Amino acid sequence: MNALTIPRAVAGAEYTVIRLPLSVLETHVMERYLPEESPVRLGFERALGTLDATVGRVLSDPELTRRGAALARRSDVLAKAVALEEKAAARKDQANVGLKQAKRAAERKRADATQRAQVEVKELREQQQAERRAAEEKAEAAARAKVQAVEREAEAALEREQAELDSRLTSIESRTEARTAKPRAELEEAAELKGEANRERKTAARLGQLAETEKAHRQSS
């Protein structure tokens, strides 16, 4: 045993006594009441491990050095894992928020597109109805114009026929008048002669009666 072995052993024993409260705190408080990923526990274990590793190197105690380094390394790894998990959770939350925002934006766009489509369909229907009404009115106007043209043409044709008929009747009446003028005149003359003959007969009859009366009067006297 060299001269340094005894002081190191004493120092190691003293450190064990000094570390005892920390060991009790680690065992009965940290490990019992705090989760493994607790920042307080990880910080405590990292400090304790660093302290063990440092004292182990000073005391040339490889086991204490390895144990301290392992504890500190474990704390760093767990802290990094916790940080990564928190970062992943934050990114997940952010992604969820982004997804919700994207969904809301998509829903708004879909609602806007649906509304625009409904407005466009309504406008198209109104335009079609207006065009149909205009076409119907145009067709009705054309039909009325055609009917009026046909009526005017029919009236003109009827007037022409009536004029031609009147002309024919006038011509027939003229020819008939010309043809019947002489017979009518003869009939009128014959009627006059017959009337005159009747008057003469009546006169002769009266004269005969007077003659008979005169004759009877002479015979009686």
Mean pLDDT by 10 residues, the chain (221 residues): 51 74 81 84 88 88 89 87 84 80 80 80 81 82 79 79 78 74 79 85 84 78 68
If one counts the domains in the chain, the total is 1
| Closest among 9, 43, 37 to 25, alpha carbons compared | 43
pTM of the entire predicted model: 0.41
**Cβ atoms < 10 Å from Cβ of 59:** 17
Q: Is 179 a member of any domain?
A: no
Cβ(49)–Cβ(69) below 8 Å: yes
Q: Is 41 a member of any domain?
A: yes
pLDDT at position 78 is: 85
Q: SS3 for 61?
A: coil
Q: Is 160 a member of any domain?
A: no
Residue 77's domain comprises 5-103
DSSP code at position 60? T
Q: Is 143 a member of any domain?
A: no
How far, in Å, are 17, 35, 91, 122 from residue 78 at the CA level? 28, 11, 19, 64
